[in-house]
Chains A and B, each alone.
Chain A
Amino acid sequence: MHIDKAHGIPVYHPKAGKWKEIKRYGALYVLMLPILIAVIVFAYIPMYGVVLAFKDYSFARGILGSPWAQPFDRYFATFFHHPYFWPIIRNTVCISLLKIFTGFVASVALALMLNEVTRQKFKKFAQTALYLPHFMSWVIVAGFVGRFLSLDYGLLNQLKVALFGGETVHWLGEPAYFWPIVVLTNIWKEVGWGSILYLAAIAGIDQEQYESAYMDGAGRWRQMWHITVPGMAPMMGIVLALSMGTIMSAGFDQIYLLQSNQTYDVSMIIDTYIMEVGLRGGQFGYATAVGLFQSVIGLIFVLGFNRLARQKFGISIW
């Protein structure tokens, strides 16, 4: 604030005040510095690398010095005309959707089941056991799966031969079994953890509803169907809406560790393809282009699904 000489009226100067404020909070800015630097270096600088999708990358010249690809959308054209293009897209989307929906149904069912358990000790035990696989890396799970499905000493083959006779099956080598294996192992790993959110939602349901339902003569099943499930509906909606945004990435770790040469037709997803041609094959420009394609489509999905969710159900991520 200073006096305006011409008119003799006090004038408020926001700028002078702002600098003072910034200086006053100086230490706070310093506190943010490490994170800001890390973000600039590891998140924003690579963003510029997206131009690689349009350049002919030369290791000697670096990203800036490399010439533009002729024609500039060469990589995209190559990708779209690649014989594996449709299988890759199909695998990615199908595996994603399968995992999302089966995981969703399984977690909801598990939450409902856990809710019916009255013995606290058993409930705690079950929860502890079921949350455990979530904290193990896919490396460990793949190790277990490999052993379980093993040709020579796998438990599954032993059971199969004992119950149904016949030969042992090379489960991980058969394309037909790959998607089921992916889906089932994903459920095994994530169903417990996934149920946490739904259990929280259930806990938020007004208990009086159950009492009045009981007064009206409704048994547990009816109560579950008419009270519990609708009570979880908002949470289910949010979880589904958020999951839809991840359609373009079907879970690199799991797929990469479980795939084999025989199953490539059904197991190759966008992420594993980018790994193969990019980090292994060294085709940086091409791999970046494919990655860009994946991000853009993914973004469209997130925005589209959010709009749909907002219009139809009134829920939104932001």
Chain B
Amino acid sequence: MKYKMSFGESLGQTLIYIALAVLSVTTLYPFINAAALAFNQGYDSLRGGIYLWPRTPTLENFRVMFSNENIGNAAYVSVFRTVVGAALHVLFSAACAFALSYRKLPGRGLITGFLFIPMIFGGGIIPFYILLRDLHLTNSIWVYILPYLFSFYNILILRTYFEGLPEEVKEAAIIDGCGYGRMLVRIIMPLSLPVLATIALYSAVAHWNDWFAGYFYVNNEALQPLQTMLVRFLKENEVTSIFAKLGVSASSTVQTKSYTSESLKMAVLVIVSFPILCVYPFLQKYFIKGALIGAVKS
């Protein structure tokens, strides 16, 4: 709709553009700044003045981080849980949602209700932790995967989608003698790739970003993911703390060569945010779609 705007409206529009531009800069700047600092020599950064690019470029910070075996372990844990966790989450959720998409299934309502109740009522963190301990999950990498296989929200989204698939396809499969399992894998899932991708993405991001489980449920340092390492790293600068520290990470107190604990922190920050930054622009539309499906359909 093109029409001539009054002066006030033109001014308003200009202000809006400026405001949005400024806001966009504030969300992008911290990442660029962190990258600049991570690629800059630590002691040089102390002099200040590093904003958008490094003054004395170096890979030292990253080299130190990667040679630290704790970081190596943490990276492995993070990648493992993200890939395996998201894959299993999607697989089992899709299987369950597919079953639930059959309206004639006996007990369907009951089971749906059964899955819904934990959303409003739960035992709390402490009994959950005790359970994890009793199951000996607290020293296993599966502690990051098994408790997070289930999301009522995701199952609902998948179920709605499966219900919307044309009946003819499913019936044709049955007529051809296809069992439900095979139907799911060979026919339904290939037809549902967008939804599956969206759910997988959400699950993957959640796994990658989770620092809590590793920090509070797992004592074994070798089993903690990258985000947990970063938290311990950040908290390290707390001078006194009522919350007892989980253990001292030796590498951050060493201050020789050109790196400082600050520059190392920046390097870890970059390492941890890098995968999402890479993946995000390409998959943005999937994330948005997921949010909208959830909101509109429910």
Contacts and interface: CB of A to CB of B under 8 A. Distances in A.
A160 B19 CA distance: 21
A131 B273 contact: no
Contact of A278 (B126, B208, B265): B126
A143 B127 contact: no
Contacts of A30: 181
Given A25-B102, A122-B17, A219-B6, A35 B265 contact: no
A35 B30 contact: no
A264 to B, nearest CB: 8
Contacts of A276: 242-243
A178 interface: no
Given A139-B230, A140-B272, A27 B180 contact: yes
Contacts of A146: 234
A100 to B, nearest CB: 17
B127 A132 contact: no
Interface stretch (B57-65, B67-75, B79-87, B142-150): B142-150
Given A46-B122, A122-B17, A284-B130, A28 B9 contact: no
Contacts of A136: 209, 273, 276
Contact of B21 (A126, A191, A279): A126
Contacts of B208: 137
B227 A63 contact: no
A126 to B, nearest CB: 5
Label chain B's interface by main secondary structure. Answer: helix
A41 B150 CA distance: 11
A158 B46 CA distance: 14
A229 B296 CA distance: 18
Residue of A137, A280, A295, A302 ringed by the most chain B CB atoms within 10 A = A137
Residue of B17, B27, B209, B242 ringed by the most chain A CB atoms within 10 A = B27
A43 B243 contact: no
A38 interface: yes
Contacts of B20: 113-114, 117, 122, 126
A206 to B, nearest CB: 14
A81 to B, nearest CB: 21
Instruction: Say which size band chain A's interface belongs to.
Output: 35 or more
Contacts of B93: 35
Instruction: Say which size band chain B's interface belongs to.
Output: 35 or more
Contacts of B165: none
Interface in A182-220: 188, 191-193, 196-197, 200, 210-211, 214, 219-220
A287 B272 contact: no
Nearest to B182: A27
Nearest to B294: A197
28 contacts: A18-B106, A21-B104, A28-B98, A28-B180, A34-B92, A38-B150, A39-B118, A42-B131, A45-B131, A49-B124, A131-B284, A132-B27, A132-B280, A135-B287, A140-B269, A140-B273, A144-B34, A144-B269, A158-B48, A193-B291, A196-B291, A211-B1, A219-B9, A253-B212, A261-B241, A274-B125, A288-B127, A302-B120
Interface of B: 1, 3, 5-6, 8-9, 12-13, 16-17, 19-21, 23-28, 30-31, 33-34, 45-46, 48, 92-93, 95-96, 98-100, 102, 104-106, 111, 114-115, 118, 120-131, 134-135, 146-147, 149-150, 155, 179-181, 184, 205, 208-212, 216, 227, 230-231, 234, 238, 240-244, 265, 269, 272-273, 276-277, 280-281, 284, 287-288, 291-292, 295-296
Given A49-B124, A50-B124, 16 more contacts: A28-B98, A28-B180, A39-B115, A41-B135, A42-B150, A43-B150, A46-B122, A49-B130, A129-B28, A142-B234, A143-B34, A153-B45, A210-B1, A253-B212, A276-B243, A287-B125
